[in-house]
Amino acid sequence: MNQVLEVRREAGAAVATGRVETLMLEGELSEQDLLQLCEDLTRKMQRGLRQVVLDFADVGHLNYRGVKPLMARAEAFRRTGGDLKLSGLSPYLAAIFRAAGAHDAFEIYPHMNDARAAFALARAPFV
């Protein structure tokens, strides 16, 4: 079963508002799940999406081998003027990201709304 794409339907699989799309992940994510997520992100980027939040609040474990491809996707989003932000990382998942070398590759927020707001703040004009 594909756990990356198995998201809570009642909360919205992909909540898109104002060109920021939030992907709510859940379960245990294998390397293959994360590679499939990366392919999905590439397709979204090719269709013009530039701002994505990956919410890990309901993820219990992920394979560290899938972190480097996620880092590459984040860099690709940045090259196109966008970004890929993470939210909801438990201390355990944050340790996996650090161990995989991603300690400074992502902006990490406690809640998906914080990450979404960070995109809005980046667009806000300075007065």
CATH number, domain of 83, equals 3.30.750.24
Summarize pLDDT for 67-122 with one digit per residue, the tens: 999 999 999 999 999 999 999 999 999 999 999 999 889 999 999 999 999 988 86
pLDDT above 60: residue 11:
no
In a domain, 4, yes or no: no
Mean pLDDT score of the chain: 85
In a domain, 87, yes or no: yes
CB 72 within 8 A of CB 106: no
Q: DSSP labels for 80-116?
A: TT-EEEEE---HHHHHHHHHTT-TTTS-EESSHHHHH
pLDDT above 70: residue 48:
yes
Name the pLDDT band for 126 (thresholds 50, 70, 90). low
Please state the domain count of the chain: 1
Show the domain range for 115: 14-123
pLDDT above 60: residue 1:
no
In a domain, 99, yes or no: yes
In a domain, 82, yes or no: yes
For the record, the structure tokens of 119 come out as 């995109």
